[in-house]
């Protein structure tokens, strides 16, 4: 790894630390997965995701280190269970060693 990649990896460890922004959640039956969940208005989460009027309560942005994702390569329309709620994967971005996954609730 380059010095820049080493620094990025170290920054991810700080960012996803339980004393910083990381939180333990249950994903697909595995307890204690450290990730960050954002359930607020999707329009404020990240530029470029777009607005989904009337459905923001049904959307979830999940951020997790790529190295902590143990369920194979994320795939569009993949079903995931997060804290016992079923979601479908709507958008996948790999940003600096972490996945940003936009999930839509499944009825």
The ranges assigned to domains in the chain are: 3-105
CA 34, CA 96: separation in Å to the nearest integer? 17
Phi, psi of 39 (to 5 degrees): -115, 5
Query: How do beta strands 85-95 and 79-82 pair?
Result: antiparallel
Which pLDDT band, with edges at 50, 70 and 90, does 40 fall under?
A: low
- With 0-12 / 13-18 / 19 or more C-beta atoms within 10 angstroms meaning exposed / middle / buried, residue 5 is exposed
Distance (Å, whole) CA 54 – CA 83 = 23
Mean pLDDT of 6-34: 86
> What fold characterizes domain 3-105?
Thrombin, subunit H (2.40.10)
Place of tokens 């697909």: 28
Give the mean pLDDT of the chain. 81
Q: Per residue in 49-104, pLDDT tens?
A: 555 444 445 789 999 999 999 999 999 999 999 999 899 999 999 988 899 999 98
pLDDT at 44: 45
pLDDT of residue 48: 55
């Amino acid at each position: 790894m380059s010095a820049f990649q080493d620094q990025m990896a170290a920054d991810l460890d700080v960012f996803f630390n339980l004393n910083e922004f990381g939180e333990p959640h249950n994903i697909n039956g595995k307890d204690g997965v450290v990730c960050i969940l954002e359930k607020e208005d999707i329009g404020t989460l990240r530029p470029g995701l777009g607005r989904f009027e009337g459905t923001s309560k049904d959307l979830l942005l999940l951020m997790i280190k790529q190295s902590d994702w143990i369920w194979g390569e994320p795939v569009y329309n993949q079903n995931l269970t997060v804290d016992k709620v079923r979601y479908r994967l709507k958008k996948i971005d790999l940003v600096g060693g972490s996945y940003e996954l936009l999930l839509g609730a499944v009825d």
